[in-house]
Each structure stands twice: as structure tokens, then as C-alpha cells.
């Protein structure tokens, strides 16, 4: 439609209106991971973005908020309660360890999945716990009272630790629950969380890997995604509904708060929230430290892991035995490897270091004239000096960690230190043999998943890398061994793996069973241990003390820097870096289009999954039953337009630890489970860019379809509260 030119005054007026809207609601995709007890401050903005419930439903002081429906699952994931009977939904990769503990050759849950058909069928998971956050309180004044900002950490830490211990004790007595106090904003604030940890947790449902880990490492950290990355557990409690050790008589936990599930779907632009436990972010990091990440730690780790993964992958393709030994190790090593590549890409594309430097310039200008924070002017110069001293050592440290200790045999030398120490205890011969045998038996787990020829190839590759990159830092022992083999790394490797006792548990057991006083010299002659020992000694003498100093110096300066920035921008609402405490983040359903090519939608579906089916590649093998359900369009109540939605992307600010977190709509109803971020935006741990950063979630309808139609466990759906009505969104409609 053609418009007439507005008059100048009209133009100015509309510009003013436009900018005032912009100022009020800056970016609609929203950076920040907020402490639940502070979200009242965000109510206005969240409502403007689409929130339709009173903010108190998400968290309130009287303890009836939806925070009670979220748990820290195990040590580093999130789970949500989805029924009044304590049913927990989390990720498949978060339940993986528990499923492994329960799997046997006869009942292989990775191949076949697991579905309890009634409460009696649910399987106790030894060692698994979940923690509820009942309430949070700002205790900064009690912890920091009378302590000057610039007080050295050595003294400050002692006082703070004593006060925390006393306060925690007081909270425990007062509430009858657990209490844990943690630092926020680099130690400028302290919050207490009143918690309850349940320790009888049972496995309820676990899709086979063909669904729960579909796409494996290839699709990991990527959008589009096709993984049904979910599993189900249940909290059990004693007769009083309180935490109890496992007992057959325990009962499903009665949950006062749990998530209603909305199956009416969402569209691009809809308001979403993710409520969970992000682990570590560093959004206020200085350009100096970020340069070290970008120029040293990330690239060296990627360089060394690329080589290691190539070798592992090659050997794993040769035999099933090697595949099984290395598949889980490989997944862990590859997860970081891929994430850091995405991180570097994003940091570069956004010129984040340049942006930080520009920001630091304005900070310095303010600091030079600041009357409110007298120490501010000295912070950045001190950081620069500290970083300059540490930089060369960080390079060495990273090559040692990723290249030298990436050789499993050398890393295994560390375990040998304890064996050698036994000889100094002056034990009787029987005592010595007994102690050694016990130590060696403890290494069985490692050797079960160890293949010396694979590791020997890693040795060759890593030593070449190390010798090339670390020249003047190479310990003499390394050079001596290399020279003794006429500088032929292949011959050197062959000899080490032939001679070292550390290559097999059988040799170690034999040694332990026949050991005599004085045999420690045999160990000290072992070429693999000698390499480990040379590296450990050099580290201890030349690297660790400097890096320790650097870390504690930076910790101190980071605290002052964060505090100064908060003083500089008094009107800005800062959010604390992630620290594995409960946080709420909000954004909207949003497709990912980093190249502007509009290639992918914001959602994938079952049709896409089936299209990827490849029976020759394990991670892309769609289970037979799933294919049958698809062919028959037998989707039960969960189908939409002839298919089932599988995964979707949104612009919520999440991090590692948010795996398994509930993804909520404008009414606080569950629409999905978070499980990953997109490659283009993994730099969000340092810098959040709403145009590239996306969290990836399983659509709740895929979860329900798999439970109900694939697993045949409809009895679980019956205990959930399923809502069909669409929330009446959206922001645009309201404006």
C-alpha cells in the first residue's frame, strides 16, 4: 500500500514513540538468567512480552511457587515434576548414567528402552538424588558486613566461610530443611537456598537410543534437531512425604506443585520461559581473560581433540569391542570439542573481544574520574598485567592437559603414584601385596574400556603435536626417550607400549601379587610412568604456582570489576553469572537463521526423523516400531497435521545444566524440555546475541506420543494434567 509522506512533526512524533517503546522494551529476545526471588522486578517486561499469569505463580515467598516443581537432577541436570505423584521429566542424556547402571546384556535399555507398567515396575537408581529449592533469601549483608571491597581474599575468604557456616546452621535449625549459601556476582552478593534432597529416585521410562540419542554426536549442538532426548523418573518419599533412604515401603512423593502440560502448540514469536539450573557462564569477563579463551584454551583443546577423535573414530570403526570401549569416552570428549568450535565461531562473528575492549575503554574513562569507587581505575591495568604473565603458561598448561594427558597411558601414570607410595609405608610383604592388589583392582574400570593399540596411535600423534608446539618447555625425560629411539616417534611409541606395565591390568595384578620391598624401582623405571612424572614435576615447579596466583588474582579483580560496573550503571539490572542455582530465563519461540537464508523452520517433526532413517548408521537407525507408527499415522492424541512435532528452538538464555529444564508458555504450562543449544550461539556463555543464540527443546507432544504409543505406558499420561486450550498471546496483538 502506498503511503503519503508524513509531515516533519508527525515524523518526529512517531520517532519519539518508536524509541520510547524501544527503551521500554529493548530487545524482545532477552538476555539474562534471573534469580527466582528477584523476578518480580521483571514482571512488567515479562507481561509486555506475553506472560499471562501473576508472577507469584512462578515464585513467591510463601513457598507455593512453581519453583517447587523443579529439581536439580543428579549433579548437573534439571528435572521437572509433571504429576501430583512425583513423576519427573528430564533428558535422556541426563538419565543415561542411571540407565547404564540398570542395564544388562539381557535387559539392554539403550537398545530396547524401558517402560515401567506400574509403580511396582519402577527401578531404584542407586546414588541418584534430586534437590528441590523451596525458598531463597539474599544474605549479602550478613555475610559481607564490615568487609571492605578491597580486602584481600586470603583474609576475606576465612571470615566469609565462617559466617556462611554459622548462617547455614541457623537456617537449618529454623526451617528443618537443608540450607546452602553461594556467592553471586563474583562474590559481591550471597544468597541462601533452602533445599530438600530426595534420595529414593526410580527409573520410570527411558526411550531406546534410536529415539533418545537419535542423531548422536552428528546432530549434537545443532539445529535442526531430531532427538527425543527425554526420560522419566519418580521421586519416592517416606510415610511423612520427606526424604528417605531407599525402602520398598517408600511412597511416591506427593507434589503440591507440578506442571500442567499444554498440548495445543505454539507459534513463532510466542513467549517462553526456561526454569532450571544453568551451570557456568562468564558474561562480565574482561577482554584479557576472554582473549585467553579465544586464543589459547579453545583452539588448543580443539586442535588436540581433533587428532584424538580422528584416531579413536578410526579404531572404533574396526571392531565392535573397541567401539564399545570408546563410545562413551568419545561422546564426552566430542561434546566439548564441538561446543568450543561453535563458541569460537560466535565470538569471532560478533567481534566479542573487540566489543569488550571498546566497553573497557568507556569503563576506564568513568573509573578515572569516579568518586564513588576509588579503586576502579586500577582494576583493568592490573588485570592486563596478570593476564600477560599467565598467557605463556596457559598455553603450556593447555597442551599438557589436552595433548600429553590426552594419552591415556601417560594419564594413567597418576594412578601409579599411589602404587609407588605404598612402598614407602614399610608394610610387611603380605600387607604390601594385599594393599597393592586392592589398588590395582580399583583400576579395573579404566582397563575395561582401554585399548593399547588405539592409545599408541594417540601417543604418536600427541607427541608430535607437543614437540612441535612446546619446544623449549619439553622436559628432559621426553627428549631423552625420543633420542634413545633415534628420534623416531613410531619406534618410541612401539617400545613404550611394549615395555610399560601400565598397558594391562593383568601385568599390574601379577606385579601386585608378587611384589617385594624394593620393587618400586621397577615401577620407577617404567617409561610411561617416567613421562607422567616428568610432566607432573615440571607442572608443579614451573606452571601450577604461577597459574594459581593468576587465578586467585583474577578472582579478586573480577569481584572488584563486577562491583564497579554495577556502581557505574546503577540503573541497569544486572543478572549474576550461572552457578548451578535455580534461574528463570525468558524469550520467545524463534527460528534460527544465522546466514539469513531462512533455511530452517523453528520446529522439526516425525516426518523429518523418518526421512533421516539410515539402517547402516547406528545413530540414524529409526526403531522399527516408530516407523510402523509413522506409516500407520497412529499418533493417538498427539498428532498435528499428519505428523508429530519433535523439537523446537527458542531464544532463551540457557547453559550447560539447563538440560532437562521445563520450557513453559505464557501461562507457565509445560510445552517442552530443554536439552541443547545451537552451534551458532554456544558463545552465549560469554556473550548473548539474540539473533544467533537458541536453546533447543523436545516438544512435549513428542514425549507424550513416545510414552503413550511407542512405550505403551499410557498409565503415566493418565496421572498428568493435560491442558488443550491455547494461551491467548501475543505481544503484538496487545500493542
Torsions phi, psi of 227, nearest 5? -95, 130
Residue tagged active-site, from 42, 92, 93, 315: 93
SS3 318: helix
Chosen from ligand ARG, ligand GLU, none, partner binding at 216 (C-beta under 5 to 8 Å by type): ligand ARG
Residue tagged active-site, from 287, 651, 659, 684: 659
Residue from 110, 184, 221, 705 in contact with ligand ARG (CB under 6 A): 221
Cα–Cα dist 285/512, whole Å: 49
> Positive or negative, the Cα torsion across 482, 483, 484, 488?
positive
- State the nearest-atom distance from the C-beta of 285 to ligand ARG, in Å: 20
- State the nearest-atom distance from the C-beta of 216 to ligand ARG, in Å: 5
Does a cis peptide bond (omega within 30 degrees of 0) precede residue 490? no
Q: Is 514 exposed, middle or buried (0-12, 13-18, 19+ CB in 10 A)?
A: exposed
Site size for ligand ARG, by CB under 6 A? 10
Q: Is 327 in the site for ligand ARG (CB under 6 A)?
A: no
Would residue 718 show up in a list of annotated catalytic residues for this protein?
no
- State the nearest-atom distance from the C-beta of 89 to ligand ARG, in Å: 16
Q: Is 331 in the site for ligand ARG (CB under 6 A)?
A: yes
Residue tagged active-site, from 229, 298, 558, 685: 229
Would residue 455 show up in a list of annotated catalytic residues for this protein?
no
Q: Which is nearer to ligand ARG, 312 or 635 (CB)?
A: 312
Q: Is 224 in the site for ligand ARG (CB under 6 A)?
A: no
Cα–Cα dist 85/567, whole Å: 47
Q: Is 217 in the site for ligand ARG (CB under 6 A)?
A: yes
A 10 A CB-CB count for 356 gives 22
Q: Which x/- pattern, by CB under 6 A, does the window 90-119 give for ligand ARG? A: ---x--------------------------
Place of cell 601385568: 507
For residue 30, which of 15, 14, 44, 16 has the smallest C-alpha distance? 44
Q: Which is nearer to ligand GLU, 224 or 243 (CB)?
A: 224
- Per the CB < 8 A criterion, the answer to whether 214 and 620 are in contact is yes
Q: Is 333 exposed, middle or buried (0-12, 13-18, 19+ CB in 10 A)?
A: buried
- Per the CB < 8 A criterion, the answer to whether 273 and 668 are in contact is yes
- Per the CB < 8 A criterion, the answer to whether 584 and 624 are in contact is no
Q: Which is nearer to ligand GLU, 301 or 658 (CB)?
A: 658
Q: Give kind and range of the element (H or E) at residue 73.
A: strand 70-73
Place of cell 607442572: 539
Q: Which cell goes with 557?
A: 579483580
Q: Which is nearer to ligand ARG, 395 or 654 (CB)?
A: 654
- E strands of 225-306, at which residues? 231-237, 251-252, 261-262, 271-276
Please, what is the end-to-end C-alpha distance for the chain in angstroms? 22
Q: Which is nearer to ligand ARG, 577 or 676 (CB)?
A: 676
Chosen from ligand GLU, ligand ARG, none, partner binding at 238 (C-beta under 5 to 8 Å by type): none
Q: Which is nearer to ligand GLU, 583 or 677 (CB)?
A: 677
- State the nearest-atom distance from the C-beta of 129 to ligand GLU, in Å: 17
- Per the CB < 8 A criterion, the answer to whether 646 and 705 are in contact is no
DSSP character at residue 685: G
Cα–Cα dist 538/416, whole Å: 17
Q: Which is nearer to ligand GLU, 286 or 659 (CB)?
A: 659
Closest residue to ligand ARG using C-beta atoms: 220
Cα–Cα dist 395/472, whole Å: 13
Q: Which is nearer to ligand ARG, 220 or 703 (CB)?
A: 220
- State the nearest-atom distance from the C-beta of 676 to ligand ARG, in Å: 4
Q: Which is nearer to ligand GLU, 83 or 652 (CB)?
A: 652
Chosen from ligand GLU, ligand ARG, none, partner binding at 457 (C-beta under 5 to 8 Å by type): none
- State the nearest-atom distance from the C-beta of 619 to ligand ARG, in Å: 8
Q: Is 220 in the site for ligand ARG (CB under 6 A)?
A: yes
Cα–Cα dist 16/217, whole Å: 49
Q: Is 547 in the site for ligand ARG (CB under 6 A)?
A: no
- State the nearest-atom distance from the C-beta of 313 to ligand ARG, in Å: 14
Q: Is 590 in the site for ligand ARG (CB under 6 A)?
A: no
Q: Give kind and range of the element (H or E) at residue 195.
A: strand 189-198
Chosen from ligand GLU, ligand ARG, none, partner binding at 140 (C-beta under 5 to 8 Å by type): none
Chosen from ligand ARG, ligand GLU, none, partner binding at 658 (C-beta under 5 to 8 Å by type): ligand GLU
Q: Which is nearer to ligand GLU, 293 or 515 (CB)?
A: 293
Scanning 118-126, 201-209, 215-223, 522-530 for contacts with ligand ARG by CB under 6 A, the matching segment is 215-223
Cα–Cα dist 600/641, whole Å: 19
Would strands 261-262 and 271-276 be described as parallel, antiparallel, or unpaired? unpaired
CA 178 to chain CA centroid, Å, is: 24
Q: Is 124 in the site for ligand ARG (CB under 6 A)?
A: no
Which residues on adjacent β-strands are paired with residue 272?
587
Would residue 229 show up in a list of annotated catalytic residues for this protein?
yes
Q: Is 676 in the site for ligand ARG (CB under 6 A)?
A: yes
Cα–Cα dist 626/635, whole Å: 10
Scanning 216-224, 315-323, 395-403, 499-507 for contacts with ligand ARG by CB under 6 A, the matching segment is 216-224
Closest residue to ligand GLU using C-beta atoms: 659
- Per the CB < 8 A criterion, the answer to whether 232 and 716 are in contact is yes
Residue from 656, 662, 681, 727 in contact with ligand ARG (CB under 6 A): 656
Scanning 186-194, 213-221, 373-381, 714-722 for contacts with ligand ARG by CB under 6 A, the matching segment is 213-221
Could you list the residues that contact ligand GLU (CB under 6 A)?
Answer: 654-659, 675-677
Which residues make up the interface to ligand ARG (CB under 6 A)? 93, 216-217, 220-221, 331, 335, 656, 659, 676
Active site residue ranges: 93, 229, 659
Amino acid at each position: 500500500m502506498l503511503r503519503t509522506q508524513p509531515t516533519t512533526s508527525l515524523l518526529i512524533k512517531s520517532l519519539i514513540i518508536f524509541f520510547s517503546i524501544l527503551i521500554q522494551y529493548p530487545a524482545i529476545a532477552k538476555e539474562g538468567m534471573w534469580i527466582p526471588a528477584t523476578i518480580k522486578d521483571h514482571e512488567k517486561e515479562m507481561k509486555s512480552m506475553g506472560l499471562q499469569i501473576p508472577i507469584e505463580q512462578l515464585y513467591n515467598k510463601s513457598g507455593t511457587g512453581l519453583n517447587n516443581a523443579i529439581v536439580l537432577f543428579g549433579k548437573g541436570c534439571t528435572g521437572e515434576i509433571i504429576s501430583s505423584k512425583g513423576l519427573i521429566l528430564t533428558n535422556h542424556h541426563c538419565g543415561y548414567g542411571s540407565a547404564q547402571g540398570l542395564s544388562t546384556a539381557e535387559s539392554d535399555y539403550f537398545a530396547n528402552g524401558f517402560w515401567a507398567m506400574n509403580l511396582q515396575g519402577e527401578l531404584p537408581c542407586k546414588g541418584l538424588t534430586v534437590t528441590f529449592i523451596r525458598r531463597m533469601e539474599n544474605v549479602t549483608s550478613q555475610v559481607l558486613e564490615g568487609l571492605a571491597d578491597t580486602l584481600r581474599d586470603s583474609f576475606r575468604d576465612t571470615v566469609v566461610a565462617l559466617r556462611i557456616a554459622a548462617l547455614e546452621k541457623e537456617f537449618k535449625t529454623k526451617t528443618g530443611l537443608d540450607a546452602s549459601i553461594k556467592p553471586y556476582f563474583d562474590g559481591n552478593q550471597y544468597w541462601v537456598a533452602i533445599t530438600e534432597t530426595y534420595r529414593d529416585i526410580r527409573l520410570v521410562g527411558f526411550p531406546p537410543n534410536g529415539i533418545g540419542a537419535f542423531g548422536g554426536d552428528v546432530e549434537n549442538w545443532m539445529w535442526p534437531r531430531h532427538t527425543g532426548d527425554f526420560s522419566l523418573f519418580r521421586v519416592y518419599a517416606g510415610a511423612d512425604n520427606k526424604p528417605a533412604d531407599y525402602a520398598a515401603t517408600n511412597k511416591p512423593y506427593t507434589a503440591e506443585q507440578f506442571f500442567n502440560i499444554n498440548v495445543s502448540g505454539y507459534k513463532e514469536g510466542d513467549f517462553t520461559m526456561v526454569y532450571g539450573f544453568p551451570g557456568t557462564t562468564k558474561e562480565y569477563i574482561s577482554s584479557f581473560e576472554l582473549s585467553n579463551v579465544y586464543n589459547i584454551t579453545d583452539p588448543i583443546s580443539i586442535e588436540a581433540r581433533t587428532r584424538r577423535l580422528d584416531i579413536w573414530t578410526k579404531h572404533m570403526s574396526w571392531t565392535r569391542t573397541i567401539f564399545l570401549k570408546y563410545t562413551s569416552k568419545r561422546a564426552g570428549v566430542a561434546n566439548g570439542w564441538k561446543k568450543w568450535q561453535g563458541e569460537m565461531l560466535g565470538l569471532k562473528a560478533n567481534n566479542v573481544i573487540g566489543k569488550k575492549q571498546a566497553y573497557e575503554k568507556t569503563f576506564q574513562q568513568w573509573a578515572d574520574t569516579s568518586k564513588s569507587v576509588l579503586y576502579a581505575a586500577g582494576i583493568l591495568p592490573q588485570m592486563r598485567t596478570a593476564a600477560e604473565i599467565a598467557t605463556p603458561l596457559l598455553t603450556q598448561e593447555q597442551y599438557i592437559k589436552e595433548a600429553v594427558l590426552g594419552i591415556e597411558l601417560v594419564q594413567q601414570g597418576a594412578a601409579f603414584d599411589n602404587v609407588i607410595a605404598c612402598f614407602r609405608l614399610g608394610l610387611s610383604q603380605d600387607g604390601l601385596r594385599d594393599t597393592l592388589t586392592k589398588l590395582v583392582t580399583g583400576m579395573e574400570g579404566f582397563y575395561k574400556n582401554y585399548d593399547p593399540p588405539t592409545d599408541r596411535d594417540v601417543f604418536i600423534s600427541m607427541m608430535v603435536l607437543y614437540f612441535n608446539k612446546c619446544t623449549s618447555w619439553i622436559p628432559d625425560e621426553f627428549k631423552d626417550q625420543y633420542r634413545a629411539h633415534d628420534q623416531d616417534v613410531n619406534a618410541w611409541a612401539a617400545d613404550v607400549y611394549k615395555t610399560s606395565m601400565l598397558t594391562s591390568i593383568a601385568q599390574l595384578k601379577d606385579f601386585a601379587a608378587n611384589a617385594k620391598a624394593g620393587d618400586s624401582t621397577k615401577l620407577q623405571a617404567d617409561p610411561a610412568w617416567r613421562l607422567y612424572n616428568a610432566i607432573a614435576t615440571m607442572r608443579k615447579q614451573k606452571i601450577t604456582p604461577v597459574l594459581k596466583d593468576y587465578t586467585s588474582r583474577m578472582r579478586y579483580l573480577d569481584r572488584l570489576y563486577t562491583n564497579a560496573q554495577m556502581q557505574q550503571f546503577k540503573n541497569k539490572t544486572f543478572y549474576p553469572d550461572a552457578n548451578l542455582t535455580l534461574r528463570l530465563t525468558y524469550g520467545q519461540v524463534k527460528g534460527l537463521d544465522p546466514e539469513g537464508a531462512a533455511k530452517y523452520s523453528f520446529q522439526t517433526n516425525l516426518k523429518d526423523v523418518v526421512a533421516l532413517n539410515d539402517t547402516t548408521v547406528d545413530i540414524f537407525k529409526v526403531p522399527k516400531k516408530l516407523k510402523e507408527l509413522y506409516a500407520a499415522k497412529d499418533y493417538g492424541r498427539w498428532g498435528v497435521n499428519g505428523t508429530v512435532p519433535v523439537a523446537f528452538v527458542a531464544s532463551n538464555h540457557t547453559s550447560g545444566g539447563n538440560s532437562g529444564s521445563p520450557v513453559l508458555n505464557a501461562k507457565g504450562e509445560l510445552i517442552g524440555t530443554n536439552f541443547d543449544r545451537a552451534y551458532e550461539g554456544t558463545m552465549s556463555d560469554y556473550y548473548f546475541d539474540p539473533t544467533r543464540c537458541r536453546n533447543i527443546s523436545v516438544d512435549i507432544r513428542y514425549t507424550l506420543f513416545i510414552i503413550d504409543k511407542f512405550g505403551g505406558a499410557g498409565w503415566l499420561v493418565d496421572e498428568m494434567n493435560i491442558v488443550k486450550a491455547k494461551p491467548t498471546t501475543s505481544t503484538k496483538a496487545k500493542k
